[in-house]
Amino acid sequence: MSRTLDPLVVDPHNPAAILPDLEAAIAGQRTLLPVPAQDRTRTTLLVNSQRAGGPIAGDVALVVATSGSTGTPKGAQLTAANLVSSADATHQFLGGEGQWLLAMPAHHIAGLQVLVRSLIAGIEPLCLDLSDGFGVPDFARAAGELAGTGDRLYTSLAPLQLAKAMDTLEGIEGLRLFDAVLVGGAALNPQVRRAADELGIHVVTTYGSSETAGGCVYDARPIPGAQVEVRDGRIHLGGPMIAAGYRNHPDHEAFAEPGWFATSDVGELVDGRLTVTGRLDAVIDSGGLKLHPEVLEQAMLGVEGVTGACVVGVPHPRLGQAIVAAYSGTASPSEVIEGLDDLPRWQLPKELRQVDTLPLIGPGKVDRQAVMTMFR
């Protein structure tokens, strides 16, 4: 059986409006392609690349686009079973169902899963108006409203949203009301994590993607039903939440093994705990020495006064690629370099640029291509 892939326009003013559509998709009645109402260019790209209006397998509930910064986004085909298994496993890991606050764009998988978990729990989610971005006062007020229910409270945030909320007393008080604050989409600044722990904010770091129906590794361990393997350094994720391939790349090698997704990340698995060390496609080869930029980024984020960091390789006539970095925060370039004393000298950036904010693609993800253009 097949049906038609229908665009689902997500309005940031009122993301809850799509709940009936999501419910129909989970019930096997529709197949939907979430698109952002405020980004016409992105919507057109998604509609065309994912062949909206064309036939699609009847067991697919959602086609959720990846948030790559270049090229055509891939569309993960998520079945109702994928979505429900992920939601159930999340609630099991967290200790039970509860009230969810949506504070992320609902056309991305992290935001969509907040809505799906609420549907599974049979509880109406509270959704922020994100048309003007993430506002801490609105977030804190919504947290207080949910706290009045007496139920368990959950929300999902990008690392930059968490850091922004922790900059104010009302944000901290709001965050402390949640039984768990899921944080994913990008690496969490270790300084922010330490501060959250000290302030009594229950942060749960998540690792996953559109291809895995959202996060499937929480605090370095797989959620119930999920599986993690590291093969020749490459992270492979398995379980009932793994998508049924890509809409526009049906023979992609990432889904060559049924029930498994071969990520583009490298990592280590020690005593059942996963550490993500970098991306296969981001390795910088500088003079024959290879660097995962995430290693240097994490070191930079450990320097006091650094709030964001992005390391990239740019063409160099002698080295092949030169290591360069952009960062945000109050630390001076010399203070950043001093804070990297423990690293081998070849890993230090040949050029270091301080910026007000790093360019983003997707919720909390730094746009590496845009950073590269800064140094060209």
In tens digits, the chain (376 residues) has pLDDT values of 779 999 999 999 999 999 999 999 999 999 999 999 999 999 999 999 999 999 999 999 999 998 654 568 999 999 999 999 999 999 999 999 999 999 999 999 999 999 999 999 999 999 999 999 999 999 999 999 999 999 999 999 999 899 999 999 999 999 999 999 999 988 888 899 999 999 999 999 999 999 999 999 999 999 999 999 999 999 999 999 999 999 999 899 999 999 999 999 999 999 999 999 888 888 899 989 989 899 999 999 999 999 999 999 999 988 899 999 999 999 999 999 999 999 999 999 999 999 999 998 866 788 888 999 999 7
Q: Which residues contact 315 (CB under 8 A, 6 or more apart)?
A: 321, 322
- Cα–Cα distance, 338 to 367 (Å, whole number): 26
* Token pair of 122 as six digits: 């049979």
R_g of the chain, CA atoms, integer Å: 20
- Element holding 284 (H helix, E strand): strand 284-286
3-class SS of residue 216 = strand
Q: Tell me, what's the pLDDT at 279? A: 86
Q: Tell me, what's the pLDDT at 71? A: 67
In the chain, where the domains are located: 2-275, 283-374
Q: What are phi and psi of 345, to 5 degrees?
A: -60, -30
- Cα–Cα distance, 331 to 344 (Å, whole number): 21
Q: Please calculate the CA angle 228-233-236 and round it to the nearest 5 degrees.
A: 30
Q: What is the 3-state secondary structure (H, E, C) of 8-27?
A: EEECCCCHHHHHHHHHHHHC
* Token pair of 70 as six digits: 């270049």
Q: Span 2-275: which CATH code?
A: 3.40.50.12780
Q: Are 52 and 58 in contact (CB under 8 A)?
A: no
- Cα–Cα distance, 106 to 119 (Å, whole number): 14
3-class SS of residue 310 = strand
Q: DSSP secondary-structure letter at 302?
A: T
Q: Are 312 and 293 in contact (CB under 8 A)?
A: yes
Could you count the other beta carbons within 10 Å of the beta carbon of residue 70? 9
3-class SS of residue 203 = strand
Residues linked to residue 5 through DSSP beta bridges, in sequence order: 31
Q: Span 283-374: which CATH code?
A: 3.30.300.30
Q: Tell me, what's the pLDDT at 217? A: 98
Q: Tell me, what's the pLDDT at 68? A: 55
Q: What are phi and psi of 363, to 5 degrees?
A: -70, 100
- Element holding 370 (H helix, E strand): helix 368-374
Q: Which residues contact 245 (CB under 8 A, 6 or more apart)?
A: 77, 252, 255
- Closest by CA position to 310, among listed 240, 267, 370: 370
* Token pair of 139 as six digits: 């977030």
Q: What is the four-CA torsion angle of 238, 190, 157, 240, rounded to 10 degrees? A: 10
3-class SS of residue 252 = coil
Strands (E), 224-259: 227-231, 234-238
3-class SS of residue 289 = strand
- Cα–Cα distance, 104 to 102 (Å, whole number): 6
Q: Are 124 and 8 in contact (CB under 8 A)?
A: no
CA distances from 219 to 10, 28, 102, 157, 268 (A): 30, 32, 21, 15, 14
Q: Tell me, what's the pLDDT at 66? A: 87
Length reported for the chain: 376
Q: Which residues contact 265 (CB under 8 A, 6 or more apart)?
A: 234, 235, 276, 278, 279, 280
Strand 260-270, strand 273-279: pairing: antiparallel
- Cα–Cα distance, 337 to 343 (Å, whole number): 10
